[in-house]
Structure 1
Amino acid sequence: MERKIKNGDKFGEWTVIKAYSSTKGTRRKSICRCSCGVERELDNRNLLNGQTKSCGHKRVENITKARYAKTDKRFIGKTFGELTVIERVNNKGRTRYKCKCSCGKEVEVIASNLERGLQVSCGDYRKHRTEEHLEKFLSEGRKKLDEKLVEDTNLYLLDSGLSKNNTSGCRGVYLIKKSGRYRAAINFQKQYHNLGTFKTFEEAVEARKAAEEKYFKPMLEKYKDEIENI
């Protein structure tokens, strides 16, 4: 006999807030809240047999932390123009770093602006900026971007984190508001690959990761030395 689930029962990260919400004649389901605040209707059997333990936020957090760690390796302690990167200042969205300028002033700078040479000092034009100075670092930034382009592929983008427009928590996975399903997609060598739509976020994430293994991994391994020097 299937165990009866009650309000307040916990299964992994899930807490049952409304048990047996489905209609008669269908599988019993419960409304559950994850420890991160996400609420979903879940099949009771999946709760009881441990098939679902959370909304998947921890996995996304671990993926994000790993990507940030790779980015930190490229930036922290490095000097870009007059700026020396000290530490990361955010854990969500576009990467920003606290930097110390050669004049002693500390500022927060978006990582991509450092990478592209768009910000090379604290911004005090009287101390640092001349037209020649600006053109020099813009030219160096463009050169760095060109060096990352191989086989119609930007190596930096293969290994970069989430864009500011991503709201799902996983790169290449998007919620289709009208249907409530998740779409997974991947861009590689100027080609867009639609990986399909999925009922759950976890399924879409799995599809995206499989595509990264197929498309990104061989390229990243092939140009491993170049990436480490970026």
Structure 2
Amino acid sequence: MPKALDLTGLKIGCLKVVKRLPKRTDSMGHEWLCYCECGNQYITTTSHLNRKCGVKSCGCYVKELARKQSKKNIENATEETYLIASKKIKETMKKNNELVENTRLSSISSKKLRSDNKSGHRGVAFKDGKWVARISISGKEHYLGSFDQKEEAIVAREKGEELYFKPLIDKYKNKQN
């Protein structure tokens, strides 16, 4: 049986291989304790270290690349490039019958809540001691009222959806099929 390759002391990317760890029953190969240039300890396998496109750091290298790319993108972004990208997105949505009358059909059809929603219902928020109901369509926001009870604001929002969203959805639903 061939002797296992000893990687101790090798530097692979940002990782310095310190020692081979005892083989676990659930592991697919030998595991190695490594230290990254950033100071983190990292455990990986022989196969990951040996591959050309394998592990090169504890993850800090990829994060740094992403940060640099993001910074570069922000520096290169101009209002003009933003407007061009925005125009292309709108054209694609219009071509796919997704954007009609300046409204995204999937947004008004969806019941999904935004991650920052605290009321548990779209278009309902607690502001200045009252529950406020609003709805936006065709680039315009409509105030539906403010209420003492959240349930009242939810009912107002649901009536607003029936009044504003339903006609638009019904009008364009047939054109999509």
**TM bracket, shorter-chain basis:** 0.3 to 0.5
TM-score, length-scaled by structure 2:
0.45
TM-score, normalised relative to structure 1: 0.35
**Structure with greater helix percent:** 2
Pair member with larger Rg: 2
